[in-house]
Amino acid sequence: MSDQAVAAYDVVAAELESAGVVRGSMFGMPCLKVGKKVLAGMFGDAMTFKLPPEPREKALALPGAEPFDPGMGRPMKEWVMIPLAQSEVWPEYAAEALEYVGR
């Protein structure tokens, strides 16, 4: 993970703290959780988000975005990976993920 990616991730994490989001780990990668549910994480220089169908499809239309596969050989159904080049939208998708996971 580059310093730039970590800094962008830290901004997202800080913005969600007041909503009860805490930092944790999933598959050995940094992640954001609400309660015991993971809503987002870092994977290399990209951020991953657990999203409902409509926001997920919108996210997948971003340049460089793709379904998230943590190395198991198949993408995780509700997860999308958005690259650092699109980090300006990370806060938007983090909020969507929080709303979805927090239901």
CA distance 84 to 58: 17
CA distance 49 to 34: 13
pLDDT value at residue 76: 85
Statement: residue 31 has pLDDT above 90:
yes
**What helix, strand, coil percent values describe the chain, rounded to 5?**
40, 30, 30
Statement: residue 58 has pLDDT above 80:
yes
pLDDT value at residue 73: 83
pLDDT value at residue 74: 86
Q: What is the mean pLDDT of residues 55-70?
A: 94
pLDDT value at residue 28: 81
| Closest residue by Cα to residue 32 from 46, 44, 14, 45 | 14
Q: What is the pTM of this model?
A: 0.91
* Residue 32 contacts residue 24 (beta carbons within 8 Å): yes
Tokens describing residue 101: 């996971």
